[in-house]
Amino acid sequence: MKFINLKEESERCLLCKAPRCQPACPVNTEIPRIIKLYMDGRYLEAGEILFENNPMSAVCSLICPFEDQCMGSCIRGIKGEPIDFPKIENYISTKYLEKVEFLKGKNKNKKVAIVGSGPAGLTLAFILAKKGYGITIFEGHEKIGGVLRYGVPNFRLSNDILGLMEKKLIKLGVKFRFNEIIGNTTTVDDLLKDSYDAVFIGSGVWNARKLNIKGETLGHVSYAINYLKSPDS
Ligand code: SF4
């Protein structure tokens, strides 16, 4: 891993008026604005902007394909090293999540069931819980995160950040039901019968894609998604 001095890195940014990095980000992160706030010591303000734009900012800053997005488009990269914005973003977003006390919006008296606690489910849970909806997340595994936990190795994405998100969601009143696969014992109809006003299904894609070549069933072969679920086994 390459260590960088975040302050020096942010000072290298040209704070472009028409930044090439920003439109290259799938969620249009306001990169020069965030860097400027960070340089001014206003990192919590920067963290709030990042979170409100993308509640998964602390995660995306670790696992996005930066080379093809912000860093790959940075003007500094034409003749030298691009600005390592993901490292700056990760610092800001993680600090923000550690410090923030989210306020729950006025109770809407509406219940929403979220099936799956992967990135989509977690994002929606934050957005709706902050607006005052009653959220229950049904997760098929024993812990939150979905593909973030069971499909991305821990050295790339530490589970600590998922634990931090879980704590914040619990504080917002979100309830979790683990080891509960909707469609087996409990169905979507059961959820609607129990007066959930809406059901969001973000169950992910857990099935491996067959290559349809000879040898796929042999003992020493493993599909990538299955391997990533338990790389130590
Ligand atoms: S990160 Fe690069 S492209 Fe974006 S504002 Fe800074 S110097 Fe400009």
CATH number of the structural domain spanning residue 133: 3.40.50.720
**Does residue 142 form part of some domain?**
yes
- Please state the atom number of ligand 1 nearest to the C-alpha of residue 75: 3
Task: Tell me whether residue 155 is in a domain.
Answer: yes
From 52, 76, 99, the end of a domain falls on 99
Going by pLDDT thresholds of 50, 70 and 90, the confidence category of residue 1 is: low
Confidence (pLDDT) at 206: 81
Contact residues for 201 (Cβ-Cβ < 8 A; gap 6+): 115, 116, 182, 188
Which ipTM score applies to this complex? 0.98
Say how many Å lie between the CA of residue 120 and the centre of ligand 1: 28
Number of domains in the chain: 2
DSSP assignment, residue 83?
A: P
Q: Which ligand 1 atom lies nearest to the CA of residue 22?
A: 4
Pocket lined around ligand 1, Cβ cut-off 6 Å? 13-16, 19-21, 31-32, 74-76, 83, 85
3-state secondary structure of 112: strand
| Domain containing residue 63 | 6-99
Residue 108 pLDDT > 80, yes or no? Answer: yes
What pLDDT band is residue 230 in, cutting at 50, 70 and 90?
Answer: confident
Residue nearest to atom 8 of ligand 1 (CA): 16
Q: Atom of ligand 1 at shortest distance to CA of 77?
A: 2
Q: What is the pLDDT of residues 6-50, one digit of tens each?
A: 999 999 999 999 999 999 999 999 999 999 999 999 999 999 999
10 near 39, Cβ under 8 Å?
yes
Same-domain status, 122 and 88: no
Are 133 and 163 found together in one domain?
Answer: yes
